[in-house]
Amino acid sequence: MPHVLTLRLTCFFLGSLLLAATPSGAQDSSSSAARGVPFESVRLDDGREYTGLIERASGNAPSDTWLYLNDVRHGPGGLAYLIVRPLLRARVKETTLLPPTARARLTQEVARLRFGARIELPEAAAIVLTTQTDKNGSTRHVYQGRWFTLDSQADAATTRRVAARLEQVFAAYRLILPPRVEPARRPRVCLFGSMTAYQARLRELGLRLANEAVFHQQENVVLAGSPLDRYAAEMAKIAQQHAQQTKEIKDLEEKLPTRLKDLADRMRRQGNASSVVRSIVAQEKQRAQAQINAHRKELARLDRENAQAMDRITRELSVRLAHETFHAYLENYVYPAEKHDVPMWLNEGLAMVFESSLVEGDMLHLGVPHRAALKRLQEDLRGTNPLKLTELLAAGPNDFLVGPDERTEASNRYYCHAWGLVYYLLFDKQRIDLSKLDDYMSPRPAHENPLHRFEILSGKTTDVLQSQWRRHILSLR
């Protein structure tokens, strides 16, 4: 039987969405605990206590660095929302669990709120890396997580930031589609130090793709190029300016005492009164301190610029990886291809939902519309020849493929419609029962009509659903 290469390809909507992060911290009055709702609790080694529903590992899963706590909170007017909080397991002193019946009730409440959850970012400094050296002398940083392995050619600081973002988005995957199976080996994420190195690896695999990241199903690996080389000149310039400012501050501070003493001695030899000498020296010291403060201000500006540049790089990587690692998660932990038939529209639509959930700051917010996809989808639906729902449901890999010599307009059209349908069905008032997905994903005879299969899942005829879906998408702002 010929070898079949299965790839999952990312799309190119890289717009970031800004959401004000809800501060993390110990229990407050908006928590479930404060409202008398039964909960589980976690006490840390510094005495802080958090409450909610503790995510439990399934089967014989290996231990996790992080303990995830699902905290149901209530805002103004009693409106409930969910915060997922990662806690470093090494700092957990004590946990208190609910009995099965009470836990089942809390689990139902978490499930009801999960589609609009806010997921906090794990602490990057707590990410433990090992350093490996290739035979050619190149250094790689490796993170062994519970759900994935990150193998990175980027520097240690960038690798930790990316690993933390991946932990965050994998928590989102598990919240929406809980793991059902345990793979023989975890998926691997390979982050290359440059786009050149990434493209070289693609050529080794015989691939010619325009995508900046890809999930290679047979190898069970997500390959991603890093934009670090694009910013190399920018980062080098910032580093050079930073070094210059630091040197000037050091020189001014080290030479200032001698400079002031020489000034005072010279003025005394010239016969100036002591009061005059003290006044002139004080003025000179004040001017020197103003120079030092100006350099420190510039140094702070460069630090902010450097942090912003690194945050921009990490966001780019995070968006790409959120899309592709979802395909890896679905294949490894939920619906393996050898036993399930996952339609392209659903696989790609879900990946785009998670892709657009990544936000600036430390909080990931599920259920945020993909602005670029929404705009493109609304334009298509208002056009004279919009993509039909029947075409989307029957779409295959080639409809989503983006090759190096191909126009991306057609594939982007399918991506936008896939996102819109998934967002409508799952993230806007959850219009389908997720418990029906298992049957929908089960292998079907080749001759079975995908429309009939979809109508069973949605509980509506395709014509009725398309009309309702179109009206809803066009009403979004």
pLDDT for the residue numbered 344: 93
pTM of the predicted model as reported, rounded to 2 decimal places: 0.82
Q: Assign residue 47 the CATH number of its domain.
A: 2.30.30
Of 415 and 447, the structure prediction assigns the larger pLDDT to: 415
Q: How many domains does the chain have?
A: 3
Q: Which of 120, 142, 169 is a domain's end point?
A: 120
Contact (Cβ atoms closer than 8 angstroms) between residue 172 and residue 117: yes
pLDDT in tens, 7-36: 554 443 333 322 333 333 444 445 655 456
Grouping H, G, I as helix, E, B as strand and the rest as coil, residue 78 is: helix
- Give the mean pLDDT of the chain: 84
Specify whether 263 is located in the same domain as 360.
no
In a domain, 205, yes or no: no
**One-character DSSP codes across 349-413:** HHHHHHHHH-BSSSEEETT---HHHHHHHHHHHHSSSPPPHHHHHT--HHHH---TTS-SHHHHH
Q: Which of 75, 95, 120 is a domain's end point?
A: 120
In a domain, 213, yes or no: no
pLDDT for the residue numbered 442: 86
In a domain, 170, yes or no: no
Buried b / exposed e across 213-248, counting CB within 10 Å, b at 16+?
bbbbbeebbbbbbbbbeebeeebeebeebbeebeeb
CA–CA separation, 419 vs 349, rounded Å?
A: 4
Host domain of residue 292:
232-309
Contact (Cβ atoms closer than 8 angstroms) between residue 119 and residue 130: no
pLDDT for the residue numbered 407: 45
pLDDT for the residue numbered 2: 37
Specify whether 406 is located in the same domain as 460.
yes
Q: Kindly state the average pLDDT of the residues 447-462.
A: 85
Specify whether 472 is located in the same domain as 377.
yes
Q: Kindly state the average pLDDT of the residues 241-270.
A: 90
Confidence of residue 236 (pLDDT cuts 50, 70, 90): confident
Specify whether 252 is located in the same domain as 381.
no
Specify whether 385 is located in the same domain as 475.
yes
pLDDT in tens, 90-142: 999 999 999 999 999 999 999 999 998 999 999 999 999 999 988 877 889 99
In a domain, 135, yes or no: no
Tell me the CA distances in angstroms from 238 to 174, 226, 300, 463, one per residue in order. Answer: 39, 19, 12, 57
In a domain, 347, yes or no: yes
In a domain, 21, yes or no: no
Buried b / exposed e across 162-195, counting CB within 10 Å, b at 16+?
bbbbbbbbbbbbbbbbebeeeeeebbbbbbbbbb
CA–CA separation, 404 vs 208, rounded Å?
A: 6
pLDDT for the residue numbered 324: 94
pLDDT in tens, 59-96: 445 457 899 999 999 888 888 999 999 999 999 999 99
Checking if the pLDDT of 464 tops 50, the result is yes
Contact (Cβ atoms closer than 8 angstroms) between residue 98 and residue 39: yes
In a domain, 171, yes or no: no
